[in-house]
Amino acid sequence: MAPLSGAMAFALVSSAVASEFGRPATPAEISLWDIDVRPDGKGLPQGSGTVAKGKEVFADNCAACHGDNGVGGIKDRLAGGQGTLASAMPVKTVGSFWPYATTLFDYIHRAMPYQAPGSLSVDDTYAVAAYILSLNGILPPEGKLDDHSLPEIRMPNRDGFIPEPEFSRSRK
Amino acid sequence: MPERNGSEVAWNRRQFLAAASTGIVGGTVAGRASAETLADVPTREPGADLGALSARSKYVQIGRIPEAGPRRRNVDPADAINSKAPLQKLVGAITPSDLHYERSHSGAADLDPSKHRLLVHGMVRKQVVFSVEDLKAMPATSRIAFLECTGNGWENWKKADGNLTVQNTHGLVSTSEWTGVPLKFILGLVEKETAATWMLAEGGDAAGVARSIPLTQEIVDEAIVAYGQNGEPIRPAHGFPIRLILPGMEGNLNIKWLRRLKFGDQPWMTRWETARYTQLLANGKARQFQLRMETNSVITQPSGTMQIRPGYNRISGLAWSGHGKIARVDISTDGAKSWQEAQLNLPALPKAQTRFQMDWIWDGKPTKIVSRSIDDKGNVQPDRDSFIATMGTNALFHYNAQQTWSIDQAGRVENVLS
């Protein structure tokens, strides 16, 4: 976010018209903040990671809150629960509830680990996502993820959501 | 109406009957009456020095309750995920800013407004960076609107805890006057493409909370990029220096510490609109993008853990609807068998909390009191049985069933399901 010279002056002119508020955003600075990822993979950065590597990264950065193997920690359970959603005790996890694998990358990348969000490299983020998917039986232990394979994953609860009709008309 | 174990006033039945016969029932029944004659009232004396801030009276004990999740109350603040507003001690419709409920996903961000920026990009003709000063220089609007966490009411999905106050059951809703720039003005500045039907709003907090917002005409017309709350800059807990305000829509959509708006033609499916804030039905399917807060109400006086006396009681509470204005509130004092229309304290503003009240003579027999709100679009707050029949008990969010308080022979008020 390098400041652009002279940009601030625009905001303070007394005769400002609509077109004079703010300043143009440069592509370089947009890329610093443009972290969101869509289900079709748009927004995913290039990179890759293995389940094996993810197991190491998880032990170092995630297990303290989420428990070994993503179960039993003080924070959200990440694995198991498939088949429980219609029961009296539903267990909502990445494997049982999340409809898109892309969301897993997006969330880890933007918000985890809790004390230092954004501190994992892109490759380590793919690796942790791969490990969590493997804990849920969605990737094999020797599995690997990258920006092409992640959006191809079909999550078990992909069809478990009913969009609210009132807000569906603006969906494509 | 003291909370139980508090001091109780000796009820002067003769005074009540005199008041009732002259038709002036309706005033507040006094609390602890320690000045029995006017001679006991302390004499006048010079007051405190004037200062930069005005504190609440030392005689008023009022505060929020941090909690870590359903049934995990009074926790260490470090473990809290929300803090609930003391509805039973509020008397109007506006919530004081420091008592406005709080919910955050990674704490209240500490942002320097001189360094904060709002990036607007994606499907727009002009991708723009705005400073906070830019936003404050734009044409402004103000609007009184409620905010409600979609988890409000979560204590009562499966069972009722009789020890809960209304702060515990319903303290995740509050009302403020919000001031800021109409989103529509910003859309004009950046020249949003017509094909852009969704907007990603993202916070500058550690979690980078982000939600996909459908650009319906209503949302485009009513959304505000706000920097003011109740006449002052928004407080850090509520999104300083800027936040999104979407009147009537679920709290999490009103992104705090707003730093990015991105336009696109489909939702992004963030964690908060997939793994969280989707409503799990009994059949295992979940409703998604259920964004509007429904018609709701709750009696705050008397409410859980309070104690009432036989005779005159004034019932008071709050009603709100994400669809529009509160048109009517009914109160039942016989467990939803019969209903009477409550008085609304005006103005009843669209998508804002409205206070209601009604006089009631309690005959001293155990009973149940319930409120039911109806908005100007004709939406009626559902009774619990029909609500649960539709939603099941796993939905976790958007609980708006009628709230019942039971009253036993001693006048003790308790939270029950119906």
Q: Which has the closest alpha carbon to A48: A108, A120, A115, A124?
A: A124
Give the one of B121, B128, B281 whose C-beta lies nearest to A23's C-beta.
B128
Q: What pLDDT was estimated at residue A168?
A: 80
| Minimal C-alpha gap between A172 and chain B (Å) | 6
% chain B with pLDDT above 70 = 92
Mean pLDDT of B324-335: 98
Residues 6 or more apart whose Cβ sits within 8 Å of residue B147 = B100, B101, B173, B174, B175, B176, B245, B251, B254
| Minimal C-alpha gap between B186 and chain A (Å) | 9
Mind listing the pLDDT tens digit for each residue in B205-229?
999 999 999 999 999 999 999 999 9
Whether B29 has a pLDDT exceeding 80, the answer reads no
Mind listing the pLDDT tens digit for each residue in B1-25?
555 543 333 334 444 444 443 333 3
Q: What pLDDT was estimated at residue A2?
A: 40
Question: Please, are residues B243 and A76 in contact by the beta-carbon 8 Å criterion?
Answer: no
Contact B121 A12 (CB under 8 A): no
Of the pLDDT bands very low, low, confident and very high (cuts 50, 70, 90), residue A124 is very high
% chain B with pLDDT above 90 = 88
User: Which strands sit side by side in the sheet containing B286-288, from one edge to the other?
Assistant: A161-163, B286-288, B279-280
Q: A137: which 2 tokens?
A: 């039986």
Q: What pLDDT was estimated at residue A14?
A: 38
Contact A24 B262 (CB under 8 A): no
Whether B55 has a pLDDT exceeding 50, the answer reads yes
Q: Which has the closest alpha carbon to B357: B409, B411, B412, B313?
A: B313
Q: What pLDDT was estimated at residue B330?
A: 98
Q: What pLDDT was estimated at residue B26?
A: 37
Q: What pLDDT was estimated at residue A22?
A: 95
Give the one of B131, B268, B287 whose C-beta lies nearest to A164's C-beta.
B287
Q: B403: which 2 tokens?
A: 């709230």
Rg (CA), chain A: 20
Mind listing the pLDDT tens digit for each residue in B137-149?
999 999 999 999 9
User: How many residue contacts between A and B have a Cβ separation below 8 Å?
Assistant: 158
| B114–A contact, CB cutoff 8 A | no
Chain centre distance of CA A28: 22
Q: What pLDDT was estimated at residue B32?
A: 60
| Minimal C-alpha gap between B167 and chain A (Å) | 25
A102 to chain B: which residues are within 8 Å by CB? 269
Whether B241 has a pLDDT exceeding 70, the answer reads yes
Class of domain B102-287: alpha beta
Class of domain B296-416: mainly beta
Contact B129 A39 (CB under 8 A): no
Q: What pLDDT was estimated at residue B73?
A: 80
What are the domain boundaries of chain A?
44-161
Q: Looking at chain B, which residue has its C-alpha nearest residue A26?
A: B127
Q: What pLDDT was estimated at residue B10?
A: 39
Give the one of A16, A30, A160 whose C-beta lies nearest to B284's C-beta.
A160
Whether B133 has a pLDDT exceeding 50, the answer reads yes
Whether B321 has a pLDDT exceeding 50, the answer reads yes
A163 to chain B: which residues are within 8 Å by CB? 288-289
What are the domain boundaries of chain B?
102-287, 296-416
Pairing of strands B117-122, B258-264: parallel
Give the one of B117, B267, B285 whose C-beta lies nearest to A160's C-beta.
B285
Specify the fold of A44-161. Cytochrome Bc1 Complex; Chain D, domain 2 (1.10.760)
Q: Which has the closest alpha carbon to A137: A57, A51, A58?
A: A51
| Minimal C-alpha gap between A52 and chain B (Å) | 25
* Interface predicted TM-score of the whole assembly (ipTM), two decimals: 0.89
| Minimal C-alpha gap between A99 and chain B (Å) | 7
Q: State chain B's mean pLDDT as an integer.
A: 92
Q: What pLDDT was estimated at residue B77?
A: 80
Give the one of B119, B270, B275 whose C-beta lies nearest to A97's C-beta.
B275
pTM of the model: 0.91
Q: What pLDDT was estimated at residue B8?
A: 37
Mind listing the pLDDT tens digit for each residue in B159-197?
999 999 999 999 999 999 999 999 999 999 999 999 999
Chain centre distance of CA B298: 11
